[in-house]
């Protein structure tokens, strides 16, 4: 079984950013459907996607619904820096991660055997 961590770093500003988050979630869905151990973390500007994709009217909301059970969480520090922390807390959809100076611990993932893929 594969152990894969998808790290979404792309912001919400361009069509290319949308493509990266969609590709990241598609890859997560593929690993999930294959029965692999997959986790998704939104970090940096990627934290902005959680409120956007949580909107039922968003074009890729269905993909979000199909994959949010494998979303480990969102970087607490970056969610605050990008102005979405309160929205994420209020939505109660995903956890804020504060493992290493306010950020997710990527080292922990690597140390436990995860392959990290960034989008």
Q: Which residue has the tokens 């199909």?
A: 66
> How many structural domains are present in the chain?
1
The 3-class SS string of 24-90 reads HHHHHHHHHHCCCEEEEEECHHHHHHHHHHHCCCCCCHHHHHHHHHHEEEEEHHHHHHCCCHHHHHH
Q: pTM of this prediction?
A: 0.96
pLDDT tens for each residue of 32-44: 999 999 999 999 9
CATH of the domain at 74: 3.40.1260
pLDDT tens for each residue of 72-90: 999 999 999 999 999 999 9
Query: Can you give the pLDDT at residue 93?
Result: 86
Domain boundaries, position 79: 3-40+49-118
């Amino acid at each position: 079984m594969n152990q894969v961590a998808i790290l979404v770093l792309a912001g919400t500003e361009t069509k290319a950013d949308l493509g990266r988050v969609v590709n990241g979630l598609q890859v997560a869905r593929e690993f999930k459907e294959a029965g692999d151990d997959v986790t998704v973390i939104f970090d940096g500007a990627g934290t902005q996607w959680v409120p956007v994709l949580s909107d039922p009217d968003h074009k890729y909301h269905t993909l979000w619904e199909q994959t949010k059970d494998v979303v480990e969480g969102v970087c607490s520090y970056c969610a605050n820096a990008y102005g979405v922390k309160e929205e994420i807390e209020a939505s109660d959809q995903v956890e804020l991660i504060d493992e290493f100076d306010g950020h997710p611990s990527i080292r922990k993932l690597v140390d436990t055997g995860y392959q990290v893929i960034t989008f």
